[in-house]
Structure 1
Amino acid sequence: MRPLPFAPLAVPAIIAPLTGGSTEAVAAQAAAAGSEPGVDVLEWRVDALLEAQDAWGVRSSRAARAVVEGFEAATLPGLPVLATFRSEAEGGECPLEVYFELVAALMGVAAPDDRGGMVSPSAVDVEIARDGALELIGAARETGVAVVASSHEWEATPPAEEIQARLHRMAAAGADVAKIAVMPQTMEDVFGLMQATHAASEALAIPVIGIAMGERGRLTRLCAAEFGSAATFATVGAASAPGQMTAAQVAAVRQALRR
């Protein structure tokens, strides 16, 4: 399995979400996740912070300050940060009309590191279905920030052929990682997601992440490496999606299955 570009030593990587509605909450979640053995990446859900502070004005000083302070709170030595504005269309809080500008601005955010320099997010999430997704991916590549292109289905699971097509589209767009999350209604949906993820992982030159959400999909969060998924999202505290297991649970299974 190919490693993630922003977590090269962990296969599959464990990504812990930070969903705090204040900088203090983000900092506390980051500290807890950073002290949890097995966590490889922090996903900072920027939309959760801005929603709690009602700071959606794209050009407002309030929104800019919240993003800068939030990223500083999410930054820990040695842990990459995946920065995510999840749109309302895909289960998050970010209004569609400000999605493009906010993600574009996020690529230029920086915080002091432990060596006296400045650090930016290691990766940003770009929803492939959003208007301007190709431009956002191109802008990220110019700034040296990795891109996790993503697609989320909260009601159902597309056919395996459609899942593969979306992952291939993300790779063709220039993403560094291709991610899809679906909501299975049957175990056949779970198996279809796993099969499609495995096929894409074999065919594409970039890592892929495949997740089935909810109770039925917990298997996909625990056994990612077995079907070609390069990462899984696991909690240290609050979850960001239904069915997420704890980081400790995922780390234990990962260790047991590691070859």
Structure 2
Amino acid sequence: MTSRTPLSPLPFSPGTGPAIIVPILAPTPAEAADRARAAAAAAGVDVLEWRIDEHVAGGLLDAGVREAAGTPEVDGSAELRTAYDEIAAPGVPVLVTVRSQTEGGHCPDDRYAEAVEAAIALRPAAVDVEMGREEAGRLLAAASDAGVSTVVSAHAWEATPTAQELDAAFAVMAGSGADVVKIAVTPQSTADVLTLLGATARAAESLDVPVIGIAMGELGRVSRLCGGEFGSAATFATVGEGSAPGQMTAEQVAVVRSYLPR
């Protein structure tokens, strides 16, 4: 891979082994902050991924919703900022992700761009941008202008695309201007897992951005443990509740990572 270093402080660089990203999901921002502190204290954790789509769906960015519910009207952006500051306080880089309903998350599709813009305004280490969104180009540019790294993502929830389709998707996403490219697939067989790992290896070798390739579910667990051997720059693991099927604990992944060459 011809290296183009992503905007700091994402710890994705060739030769260092896959970074361990721990998703933070919670019904309230206060609970998210508690879980973030616990995750940040766990050994081997490199990045926290704060999933805010459930908070957006619950009306965090909509003061009118809270007022109608009889709760004090608080600026949703200010509440988001307060929670983010607590989550970022331990000093572990934070990736803020808004997962739309189309991509398996909670955020209504018509609120997606607004929510990502709110995430960018926090100035985290990075934000996730779904490649399939009509607004992806604008959001990637907005993050770049703000000095925020971007992880452009795509998910195949029903199956695994062909090797040719994955190669093409990695290439298109790498050309989007994002700092990191992530593709997650759903394997139906071990052959599908090999297809994902092969495409990840080719992308890592040929593209000028770090790539993340994940096969989800029980069949795909090996990709979370050994994806770094195929060029994947990061893997997702849990401290407490996870965000996708097949995730293993950060402790398990860190142990395996320690035995593999870098």
TM-score by length of 2: 0.89
Q: 2:45 aligns with which of 11, 23, 39?
A: 39
> Which residue identity does 2:29 align to in structure 1?
T
Matched, 1:238 2:241: yes
Matched, 1:122 2:125: yes
Report if the CA contact (8 A) 1:50-1:66 is conserved. no
Report if the CA contact (8 A) 2:19-2:233 is conserved. yes
2:252 counterpart SS class = helix
Q: 2:60 aligns with which of 52, 55, 60?
A: 55
Give the Å deviation of 1:129: 0.4
Determine the structure 2 residue equivalent to 1:204.
207
Determine the structure 2 residue equivalent to 1:106.
119
Q: 1:70 aligns with which of 60, 83, 94?
A: 83
Give the Å deviation of 1:59: 9.0
Determine the structure 2 residue equivalent to 1:87.
100
> Which residue identity does 1:33 align to in structure 2?
A
Determine the structure 1 residue equivalent to 2:71.
none
Give the Å deviation of 1:62: 4.8
| Structure with more contact order per residue of length (Cα contacts < 8 Å, sep ≥ 6) | 2
Report if the CA contact (8 A) 2:19-2:47 is conserved. yes
Matched, 1:7 2:8: no
2:121 counterpart SS class = coil
Distance 1:12 1:4, change over 3 A: farther
Q: Percent identity?
A: 49
Give the Å deviation of 1:68: 1.7
Determine the structure 1 residue equivalent to 2:29.
23
d(CA) in 2 for partners of 1:97, 1:58: 17
Give the Å deviation of 1:72: 2.0
Determine the structure 1 residue equivalent to 2:147.
144
Determine the structure 1 residue equivalent to 2:196.
193
Determine the structure 1 residue equivalent to 2:254.
251
Give the Å deviation of 1:8: 4.6
Distance 1:154 1:83, change over 3 A: same
Report if the CA contact (8 A) 2:237-2:247 is conserved. yes
Report if the CA contact (8 A) 1:58-1:101 is conserved. no
Matched, 1:216 2:229: no
d(CA) in 1 for partners of 2:118, 2:256: 38
Report if the CA contact (8 A) 2:12-2:18 is conserved. no
d(CA) in 1 for partners of 2:163, 2:76: 39
TM-score by length of 1: 0.90
> Which residue identity does 1:45 align to in structure 2?
R
Distance 1:223 1:54, change over 3 A: same
d(CA) in 1 for partners of 2:207, 2:64: 38
d(CA) in 2 for partners of 1:93, 1:83: 14
Determine the structure 1 residue equivalent to 2:167.
164
d(CA) in 1 for partners of 2:87, 2:64: 22
User: How many aligned positions are there?
Assistant: 248
Root-mean-square deviation (CA, aligned residues, Å) is 1.9
2:140 counterpart SS class = helix
Q: Report which stretch shifted further, 177-186 or 155-164.
A: 155-164
Gaps of 5+ in 2: 66-73
Report if the CA contact (8 A) 1:26-1:73 is conserved. no
d(CA) in 2 for partners of 1:136, 1:191: 32
Q: Report which stretch shifted further, 96-105 or 208-217.
A: 96-105
d(CA) in 2 for partners of 1:27, 1:199: 38
Gaps of 5+ in 1: 110-119
Determine the structure 2 residue equivalent to 1:181.
184
d(CA) in 1 for partners of 2:125, 2:235: 17
